Every structure is written in structure tokens, then in C-alpha cells.
């Protein structure tokens, strides 16, 4: 193998290049030949550290990244396999990970994944048994097992983040979840796609503020009018192409030859900016036909060299009225983030709902409560009597259905989401933070709804407890408790937040570095 992705990336003197390849819907034929051709040319060129293989993008079926990746791996090109939580439960995911390890493909990008698209006979059933934080914890645990079995390397696990969020709530939620991902075992970061240099800078500054030293790769894309329109219409979750940029791209491609030249130029300039800002690498998407475009981009980047600051204003494509974590006065300095400077207001109904459930939870579902020993004994007595247990379950379900849309999971997680239900109110059932697909505060899957994590941030910020979105990691739901009374499960220490396991201990000890960074920075600012 000519290049090793992990070695290249961890060498701080390097600025690495990776390509994103998208398998087609066939097992043989033109699409397979095209992807293999790009991979072989990438290997021959010698400047590409790895190619990443997408995992059913958009939730629609395509050739497995494991199979496609292995064929590429055999020709000498290192591979990053996208590993989503959408299509398999935790048993299938663990099995898949072991399979990849045996095949020698240990660079994994852990993703929650786009929502389920259409396959045979219609839309598939979404799984989302784990989220990306839980997946990273699983991979970290597998590494320990693999080391004990004689495999010294283990997985090199990456995660994604979208700095291109333009509401305070979405922005905070992304960085909070990134912190949890890193605490859970993320070893490198790849950004979502956007064209706002200030937001690229914002991410680097947030990590520096927290004292987090992790290699970050910035995503770029060879924009065509078709791709720009799709992204502008929110059809690619997490990718942001503004109206202004879309119009510019459409004008440029009125002459296809000129449009292609300017697309190469834009990608090369953005790559040079990423290098100048301190990113460890550049991830190039939109290479669909041959390697030629990628080669031209790299050649142009070499010509630009250190003159990246000249092009910063060419990447000023913000969302109108968008939120920035730092003052937007050029490339931002390392100052106190703007989060919480204008505490959000809550509607009367929202405020009553939040404060009531928060108070009840503190009084009735806390082991520090004075009444906790009494509740434990009472629940033990009720649990031993089937009729009484059923009565409690029915009463609990009716109350929580009215207040939370409860789906009777038996392993309640509302305390992690500002007393909103992650099972009924998030289509991906995320318990560790927002996915990257929201836009303008609305849900990726149901745009008419507000993202539940946006609501959660507004509630926590209102009560000046936004750090609650960064505290530890949340274990996955315990399916063995499905349709059982969560009240009893809590007090009898059967649910995810009370059982004594190594996983729970790990989650509780996973402190978000951003909390320490914010605290230290705010203290310095007040002195």
C-alpha cells in the first residue's frame, strides 16, 4: 500500500487529500468500472491518502461500501468506509464491524445516517437502534476486545460535524454532539459541506477553545448546477448551498467549459483556505466520471500556495441573519462564544411543560431525593404483583402519552432531551444530540416540525443549563424493557441510567472538553 490514511493524517506536517466515491446501484457494469477507475488513478497519482465509500446515500440502495471498498483496498488504495446506523440494529452493526476488521478495512466514518429512502416495494423501515455516539462507543469497545485477541491496531474511527448551522440552537447542538463523539472515541473529524469560510474558521476556533487536539478534514465539492440545486433544496441533509451561490454557479455554467474551469478553481481555493485555517486535510466530493478533475484541483492548489487569504471574501455565503459563534469580523479571533448572550424566551405552554416535568423528575426520579428509599420499596412491592404492575403501566402510559407522546419504550430518556421524548419526537431516536440534517431549526425528515434538539437547547438555555447537552454520553435504549413501566424500571435500577455496567461508567466519565473550555474562557473574560 503506497499511502496509509491513519499515518498520513496523524502526521501534523501533512495536509492530506481524500476523495469521496459513490457506488452505483449495480454489482457490475459502467458505474462499478468508473468508481474502480477513479480509485486506481488516485493510487497511481500518489497524492491521495484514501478514498471514502458512501453507505447508501439518501437512504437509497446502492452497492455495499464494504464490497466496493474491499475491491479498491486490494489494488493498494486505502479506504474509509462510511458506517451508518440506519439499516442495522446493534447486533448487525457489531457483526459488520468484525467483518470489516477481518477484511483489513479499519478506517470507519461513524454516522447516524440519512433517513431511510426507497427500496424494493417502497420505503424501507428505519432502524436507528444506535446513534453515532453509541456507534463510536461500540467501536472503542471492539478495539479493546481486538487488542486482547492479538490485533494491535483496531479501528481508526472518525465522525462528522456540520459547522454550517445558522441558528444558535442548531450551532450549539452540533458542537455539543461533536464533543460527545470525541469523548466516545472519535479519532478524526470530517465536516459536512458548506461554502462559508467564517463557519470553517468557527469550528477550528471552537476546538482550540476547548483544548481539543483532533485532526479535522474539511469537505469540498465540485459544484455543478444540478448538484447546487439539489443541495439548495435541502435534498442532501447537512449540505448548504445558499441562494446566492446557486445563482452564481448557474451563471458560470451557462458556458459548460467555463463552468467546469470555475468549479475546479472554487474547489482549489477552498482547499487552500482550509489548509491556511489549520485543517489537517481536504475531502473532495463530486468526482463522478474520472480522476482528471481531482488532479486539476490539486495542481491549482499547489499554484495558490500560501496566498489563501486573498480568496476569503469569495467564500462569504452566509444565510441571511445567520448565527455565528464568534463575532463575524473577518477570520474570527479566539474569544468567548456568543452562545446564551440573548437567552431565548419560551411560550407559556412550553415553559409550564418544561418546568413541571423538570420539577417532577427531580422529586420523583432522583436517587438523591429524600423519598428515593420509599419509592424503591414501593416499586419493588408493585413489581411483584402482576395486577398492580399492569395498573401502574396503564396509568404511566396514559399520562406520558398526553404529555410526551410516549411510545412505551420502558427506558425513558426525556431527562437527556430537556424533558422531551427522543423516541416519539425524533425520527432517528437520537439520545446523544442532533443529527446534522436539520435546517433553519426544522427536522430533516419532517420539515414542518421543529427539531427536538432545537427545542431542547432553547429549554436548557432558558434555565441557564445548556451544559446539560454536553454532560457525559447516553447509553443506548434497552429494548428488553420495551412496553414495561419505566417508572418501576428506574427505581428498581433496571434502565439505562441506573444499571451498574462498564458502559454506564464510561458514559458518566466522558466529560465534554467544551465545558472546561467555556468555563476557563469565561473566567478569563471576567477577570
Mean pLDDT by 10 residues, the chain (527 residues): 87 96 85 94 96 92 94 95 96 97 96 92 92 96 90 93 94 92 94 94 90 94 96 90 94 95 96 96 95 96 90 82 79 70 88 95 89 92 95 95 95 95 95 93 94 96 88 90 96 85 69 57 47
Domain assignment present for 330: no
- Determine the Cα–Cα distance for residues 147 and 139; give it in Å rounded to an integer: 12
**Do 87 and 174 have their domain in common?**
yes
Q: Which three cell numbers stand for residue 417?
A: 432531551
CATH code where residue 240 lies: 3.20.20.220
**Do 513 and 409 have their domain in common?**
yes
What was the pLDDT predicted at 423? 95
Final residue of a structural domain among 291, 315, 339: 315
What was the pLDDT predicted at 333? 60
Instruction: List phi, psi (to 5°) of 152.
Output: -80, -15
- Determine the Cα–Cα distance for residues 279 and 19; give it in Å rounded to an integer: 16
Query: Do 430 and 132 touch, CB atoms closer than 8 A?
Result: no
Strand stretches in 142-187, DSSP E: 156-161
Final residue of a structural domain among 296, 315, 334: 315
**Do 506 and 423 have their domain in common?**
yes
Final residue of a structural domain among 266, 296, 315: 315
Q: Which three cell numbers stand for residue 319?
A: 444565510
Q: Which three cell numbers stand for residue 266?
A: 472554487
For the entire predicted model, the pTM comes to: 0.93
What was the pLDDT predicted at 517? 55
**Do 112 and 189 have their domain in common?**
yes
**Do 311 and 358 have their domain in common?**
no
**Do 118 and 263 have their domain in common?**
yes
Burial 374-405 (b: 16+ CB within 10 A, else e): ebeeebeebbeeeeebeebbeebbeebeeebe
DSSP per-residue codes, 361-397: HHHHS-TTSTTHHHHHHHHHHHHT-HHHHHHHHHHHH
**Do 280 and 150 have their domain in common?**
yes
Domain assignment present for 286: yes
**Do 304 and 424 have their domain in common?**
no
The residue whose grid cell reads 474509509 is: 80
Domain assignment present for 307: yes
**Do 277 and 374 have their domain in common?**
no
What was the pLDDT predicted at 524? 46
- Determine the Cα–Cα distance for residues 63 and 68; give it in Å rounded to an integer: 7
For residue 80, CA distances in Å to 106, 133, 179, 274, 388 come to: 8, 18, 22, 20, 53
**Do 291 and 410 have their domain in common?**
no
Query: Do 391 and 452 touch, CB atoms closer than 8 A?
Result: no
Domain assignment present for 321: no
Q: Which three cell numbers stand for residue 521?
A: 474562557
How many distinct structural domains can be found in the chain?
A: 2
Query: Do 393 and 484 touch, CB atoms closer than 8 A?
Result: yes
**Do 358 and 218 have their domain in common?**
no
Q: Which of 487, 469, 351 is nearest to 408 (CA)?
A: 487
What was the pLDDT predicted at 158? 98
Instruction: List phi, psi (to 5°) of 294.
Output: -60, -45
Residues 6 or more apart in contact with residue 329 via CB below 8 angstroms: none
**Do 286 and 358 have their domain in common?**
no
- Determine the Cα–Cα distance for residues 457 and 344; give it in Å rounded to an integer: 9
Decide: helix, strand or coil at residue 289.
Answer: coil
Decide: helix, strand or coil at residue 20.
Answer: strand
Domain assignment present for 300: yes
Domain assignment present for 341: no
- Determine the Cα–Cα distance for residues 410 and 400; give it in Å rounded to an integer: 11
Domain assignment present for 298: yes
Domain assignment present for 475: yes
Domain that holds residue 85: 5-315
Amino acid at each position: 500500500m503506497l499511502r496509509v490514511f491513519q499515518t498520513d493524517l496523524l502526521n501534523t506536517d501533512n495536509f492530506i487529500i481524500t476523495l469521496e466515491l459513490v457506488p452505483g446501484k449495480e454489482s457490475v457494469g459502467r458505474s462499478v468500472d468508473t468508481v474502480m477507475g477513479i480509485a486506481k488513478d488516485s493510487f497511481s497519482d500518489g497524492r491521495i491518502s484514501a478514498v471514502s465509500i458512501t453507505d447508501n446515500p439518501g437512504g437509497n440502495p446502492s452497492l455495499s461500501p464494504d464490497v466496493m471498498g474491499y475491491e479498491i483496498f486490494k489494488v493498494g488504495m486505502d479506504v474509509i468506509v462510511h458506517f451508518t446506523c440506519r439499516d442495522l440494529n446493534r447486533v448487525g452493526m457489531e457483526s459488520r464491524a468484525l467483518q470489516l476488521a477481518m477484511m483489513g478495512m479499519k478506517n470507519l466514518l461513524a454516522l447516524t445516517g440519512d433517513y431511510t429512502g426507497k427500496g424494493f416495494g417502497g420505503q424501507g423501515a428505519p432502524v436507528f437502534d444506535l446513534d453515532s455516539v453509541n456507534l463510536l462507543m461500540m467501536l472503542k469497545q471492539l478495539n479493546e476486545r481486538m487488542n486482547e485477541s492479538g490485533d494491535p491496531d483496531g479501528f481508526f474511527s472518525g465522525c462528522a460535524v456540520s459547522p454550517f448551522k445558522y441558528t444558535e440552537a442548531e450551532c450549539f447542538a452540533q458542537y455539543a454532539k461533536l464533543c460527545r463523539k470525541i469523548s466516545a472515541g472519535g479519532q478524526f473529524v470530517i465536516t459536512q459541506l458548506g461554502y462559508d469560510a467564517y463557519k470553517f474558521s468557527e469550528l477550528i476556533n471552537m476546538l482550540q477553545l476547548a483544548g481539543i487536539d483532533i485532526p479535522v478534514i474539511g469537505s469540498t465539492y465540485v459544484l455543478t448546477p444540478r448538484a447546487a440545486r439539489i443541495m439548495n433544496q435541502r435534498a442532501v441533509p447537512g449540505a448548504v448551498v445558499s441562494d446566492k451561490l446557486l445563482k452564481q454557479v448557474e451563471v458560470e455554467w451557462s458556458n459548460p467549459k467555463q463552468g467546469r474551469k470555475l468549479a475546479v478553481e472554487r474547489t482549489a481555493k477552498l482547499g487552500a483556505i482550509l489548509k491556511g485555517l489549520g485543517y489537517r486535510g481536504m475531502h473532495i466530493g463530486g468526482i463522478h466520471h474520472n480522476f482528471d478533475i481531482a488532479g486539476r484541483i490539486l495542481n491549482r492548489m499547489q499554484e495558490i500556495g500560501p496566498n489563501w487569504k486573498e480568496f476569503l471574501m469569495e467564500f462569504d455565503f452566509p444565510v441571511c441573519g445567520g448565527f455565528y459563534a464568534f463575532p463575524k469580523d473577518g477570520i474570527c479571533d479566539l474569544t468567548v462564544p456568543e452562545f446564551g448572550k440573548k437567552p431565548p424566551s419560551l411560550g407559556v405552554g412550553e415553559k409550564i411543560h418544561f418546568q413541571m416535568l423538570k420539577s417532577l423528575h427531580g422529586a420523583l426520579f432522583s436517587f438523591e431525593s429524600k423519598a428515593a428509599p420509599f419509592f424503591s420499596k414501593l416499586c419493588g412491592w408493585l413489581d411483584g404483583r402482576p395486577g398492580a404492575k399492569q395498573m401502574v403501566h396503564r396509568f404511566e402510559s396514559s399520562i406520558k402519552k398526553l404529555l410526551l407522546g410516549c411510545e412505551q419504550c420502558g427506558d425513558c430518556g426525556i431527562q437527556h432531551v430537556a424533558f422531551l421524548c427522543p423516541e416519539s419526537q425524533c425520527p432517528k431516536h437520537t439520545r446523544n444530540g442532533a443529527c446534522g440534517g436539520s435546517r433553519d431549526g426544522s427536522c430533516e425528515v419532517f420539515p414542518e416540525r421543529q427539531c427536538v434538539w432545537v427545542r431542547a437547547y432553547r429549554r436548557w438555555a432558558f434555565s441557564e443549563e445548556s451544559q446539560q447537552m454536553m454532560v457525559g454520553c447516553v447509553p443506548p435504549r434497552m429494548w428488553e424493557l420495551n412496553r414495561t413501566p419505566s417508572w418501576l424500571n428506574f427505581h428498581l435500577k433496571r434502565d439505562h441510567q441506573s444499571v451498574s455496567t462498564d458502559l454506564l461508567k464510561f458514559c458518566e466519565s466522558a466529560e465534554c472538553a467544551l465545558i472546561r473550555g467555556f468555563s476557563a474562557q469565561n473566567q478569563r473574560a471576567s477577570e
